[in-house]
Amino acid sequence: MTDDEELELLERELPVLSRLRRFADGLEEVPWFSRLGEMLHPGTRRIAEHYLDQLGFPDTEIAILADWEDAAASAETFDWANPAWEAEELVRADLTGRALDYMSDEALQLGLSVVSDRAGHAAKSALLDTAALWDMVDENVHNLSVGGAVQAAYGAGLLLLAAANDPEFDADTHAFAVKFQLFEHGRWPVGVVGSSFNLF
């Protein structure tokens, strides 16, 4: 790649990376894990149903988990090779390809690492407060829940990058956008297991 081509690429990358930085900065304001175990608000239920529709599992039932014990059991028995996980991996690969159409792999990884770091710090801090209220001290469960939050933020950041240069791409209704909204509603979408979408 010539110097002129590298400069042109950098000029294309900077605006979207600036948007990604603003997204990362806002992660401290997300009410991570603030409504665990509560009754499911109708608006939150619609978001969960929309996530399932977008992912291709419209007939999956939403299962509300009552406590950390149920959430931990669900997370620890989650099959990473199940159809829903594989569907998310295909979506992630598609978004990565779209983003790499107009930005370098280095810029992509740099931007998403910032999102992951910010999400990890914000979610961990919020989780410790919430876990203290529940008297939940299991470090493994802490890691599973924070890991889910980081993964959702990473997906939302990747979606932002993929949609940045395509005005016809509907990012607002994308599966990764609505999954992140569940965390914004204070819930932990643990995952689809069999015919159930386990939501804490």
pLDDT tens sequence across 158-191: 999 999 888 889 999 999 999 999 999 999 999 9
Comparing 39 with 137, which gets the higher pLDDT?
A: 39
Comparing 200 with 8, which gets the higher pLDDT?
A: 200
* Tokens linked to 139: 């470090």
User: Which range, of 6-10, 115-119, 156-160, averages the lowest pLDDT?
Assistant: 6-10
CA 105 to CA 83: how far, in whole Å? 28
Question: Taking the domains of the chain in order of start, what are their residue ranges?
Answer: 3-199
The DSSP element (H or E) to which 3 belongs, if any, is helix 3-25
The DSSP element (H or E) to which 121 belongs, if any, is helix 105-134
pLDDT confidence band for 7 (50 / 70 / 90): very low
Residue 76 has pLDDT above 90, yes or no: no
> Tell me, what's the pLDDT at 3?
44
Per cent of the chain over pLDDT 70 is 91
pLDDT confidence band for 96 (50 / 70 / 90): very high
CA dihedral 54, 68, 28, 186 (to 10 degrees): 50
